[in-house]
């Protein structure tokens, strides 16, 4: 970046630091902020070093059919690939058998991988959702199963690890709840420490997709002081404070932020250096931009922008109650939101238009400018992720059984390619790590 943008970065980084120090105390605020930057720097350094880069791909497995899928899956579990750090290509390494490991998360030290097992209720209505832990072999990237735990929820669709590495969070879409698990010193998942239900009165206006609370994501905010749960059913981002000793959640100082009625918030990301947050709304195909105030864990909305062109032929679906994940022809829903590690570009997947929307992030305001769309090269692009260096974007076309790899222009964030096509059954999420080898 040029000198002018570096100056803006400095001003806004100072503003985020000021907010943290004011709300958390000088020593606590500094300790919370700087590890966040250090972790990002470490990831960048690891991916640019001599270590081999490995890619872990989550799937919906057979004989199940993925939400919105058109045929039973042929996937067997988590697919492990070795990544060419220069060209972005993938070489198969391992298939770790697992049931519907549809979302993945790495431990901060890169030694362990965690997955959800996205399962619904049994015949008696008891929830079967789980989370599972795997050890990563530092020599070849292969996975070894450690253990699994029930989430006491159904259709567990998202997981993340607290930056301390001490807790695993899971979002249970079907039951509208959030689960918290302590993590052991050897990466194992210990007994659940908390289960928080979304408010029972938090129903949205869409009678098919928002008939109840639907937890879709749980992540830790900058500074690691607040934890946020995204509830598609209630059109809310819930804010919690985590007790690091007990592993229990309590409502934050500002307990929630709203999105527009019927938008159906799905995923969110924070800017890697600045006090901005971005929320992807599945049902309305929009992205909301927020100023973020870390001392209170609160948000002020500054912008909302469509992920579709102004003259798009794609509209909001009339959802099928027997298959709510279906995207009928001529309609669109969003799926994944990712931000470039340098913080200058944002990407969102469109299911229906089958594209990636690309946005430039304004240095000073954090607001978005749409810079175009690129075809995903397949059907129903559910998940995507960038490697730690920010050089490549990997997109999983769920219904086409392909991974498309795009190069990323380092200055503009524009996508180039696809530069590779990899055949892989029902790819729906990606996690990256660098190991010595």
What DSSP line would sit under 204-222, residue for residue?
Answer: -S-TTT-SS--EEEEEEPT
Q: Is the dihedral of CA 231, 309, 408, 95 positive or negative?
A: positive
> In this predicted model, what pLDDT tens digit does every residue of 99-125 receive, in sequence order?
999 999 999 999 999 999 999 999 999
Q: Could you give phi then psi for residue 193, rounded to 5 degrees?
A: -100, -20
Give the per-residue pLDDT at 226. Answer: 97
Give the per-residue pLDDT at 206. Answer: 92
Percent of the chain with pLDDT over 70: 87
pLDDT band at 12 (very low <50, low <70, confident <90, very high): very low
Give the per-residue pLDDT at 199. Answer: 75
257 contacts 299 by C-beta, under 8 angstroms: yes
CA 41 – CA 376 distance, rounded (Å): 29
Give the list of residues 6+ apart from residue 96 with CB closer than 8 angstroms, or none.
77, 78, 80, 134, 142, 143, 145
Is it the case that residue 300 has pLDDT exceeding 70? yes
What is the b/e burial string over 65-85, where b = at least 16 CB atoms within 10 angstroms of the residue's CB?
ebbbbeeebebebbbbbbbeb
400 contacts 385 by C-beta, under 8 angstroms: no
Is it the case that residue 21 has pLDDT exceeding 90? no
Give the list of residues 6+ apart from residue 13 with CB closer than 8 angstroms, or none.
273, 274
Average pLDDT of the chain, as a whole number: 89
Q: Is the peptide bond before 63 cis (omega within 30 degrees of 0)?
A: yes
CA 26 – CA 28 distance, rounded (Å): 6
pLDDT band at 155 (very low <50, low <70, confident <90, very high): very high
**Overall average pLDDT of the 282-299 stretch:** 97
Residues in the chain: 437
**Overall average pLDDT of the 399-425 stretch:** 97
Q: Could you give phi then psi for residue 276, rounded to 5 degrees?
A: -130, 150
> In this predicted model, what pLDDT tens digit does every residue of 198-233 receive, in sequence order?
876 557 899 999 999 999 999 999 999 899 999 999
pLDDT band at 38 (very low <50, low <70, confident <90, very high): very low
Is it the case that residue 239 has pLDDT exceeding 80? yes
CA 48 – CA 104 distance, rounded (Å): 22
**Overall average pLDDT of the 61-90 stretch:** 96
> In this predicted model, what pLDDT tens digit does every residue of 165-198 receive, in sequence order?
999 999 999 999 999 999 999 999 999 999 999 8
- Long-range contacts, stretch 284-290, CB < 8 angstroms, 24+ apart: 284/260, 284/316, 285/314, 285/316, 285/332, 285/333, 285/334, 285/350, 286/260, 286/334, 287/337, 287/346, 287/348, 287/359, 287/368, 288/259, 288/260, 288/263, 289/366, 289/367, 289/368, 290/257
**Overall average pLDDT of the 29-58 stretch:** 51
CATH superfamily of the 3-307+331-435 domain: YVTN repeat-like/Quinoprotein amine dehydrogenase (2.130.10.10)
């Amino acid at each position: 970046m040029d000198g002018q943008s570096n100056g803006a970065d400095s001003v806004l980084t100072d503003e985020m630091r000021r907010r943290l120090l004011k709300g958390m105390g000088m020593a606590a605020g500094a300790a919370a902020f700087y590890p966040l930057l250090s972790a990002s720097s470490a990831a960048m350094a690891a991916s640019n070093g001599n270590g081999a880069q490995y890619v872990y791909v989550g799937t919906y497995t057979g004989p199940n059919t993925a939400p919105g899928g058109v045929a039973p899956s042929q996937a067997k579990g988590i697919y492990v690939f070795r990544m060419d750090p220069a060209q972005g290509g993938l070489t198969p390494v391992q298939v770790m058998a697992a049931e519907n490991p549809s979302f993945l998360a790495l431990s901060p030290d890169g030694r362990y991988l965690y997955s959800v097992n996205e399962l619904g209720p049994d015949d008696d209505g008891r929830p079967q959702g789980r989370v599972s832990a795997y050890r990563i072999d530092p020599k070849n990237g292969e996975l070894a199963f450690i253990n699994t735990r029930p989430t006491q929820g159904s259709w567990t669709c998202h997981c993340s690890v607290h930056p301390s590495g001490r807790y695993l969070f899971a979002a249970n879409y079907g039951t509208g709840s959030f689960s918290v698990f302590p993590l052991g010193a050897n990466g194992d998942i210990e007994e659940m420490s908390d289960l928080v239900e979304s408010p029972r009165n938090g129903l949205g206006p869409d009678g098919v997709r928002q008939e109840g609370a639907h937890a879709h994501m749980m992540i830790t905010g900058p500074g690691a002081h607040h934890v946020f749960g995204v509830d598609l059913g209630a059109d809310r981002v819930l804010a919690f404070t985590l007790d690091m000793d007990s592993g229990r959640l309590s409502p934050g100082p500002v307990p929630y932020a709203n999105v527009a009625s019927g938008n159906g918030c799905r995923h969110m990301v924070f800017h890697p250096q600045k006090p901005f947050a971005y929320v992807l709304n599945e049902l309305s195909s929009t992205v909301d931009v927020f100023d973020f105030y870390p001392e209170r864990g609160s948000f002020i909305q500054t912008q909302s922008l469509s992920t579709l062109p102004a003259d798009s032929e794609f509209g909001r679906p009339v959802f099928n109650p027997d298959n709510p994940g279906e995207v009928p022809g001529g309609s669109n829903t969003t799926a994944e939101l990712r931000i470039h590690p340098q913080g200058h570009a944002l990407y969102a997947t469109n299911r229906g238009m089958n594209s990636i929307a690309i946005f430039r992030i304004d240095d000073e305001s954090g607001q978005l400018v749409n810079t175009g769309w690129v075809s995903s090269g397949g059907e129903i692009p559910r998940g995507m992720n960038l490697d730690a260096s920010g050089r490549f974007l990997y997109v999983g076309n769920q219904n086409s059984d392909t991974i498309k790899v795009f190069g990323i222009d380092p200055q503009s964030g524009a996508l180039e390619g696809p530069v590779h096509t990899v055949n892989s059954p029902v790819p729906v999420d990606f996690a990256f790590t660098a190991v010595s080898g």
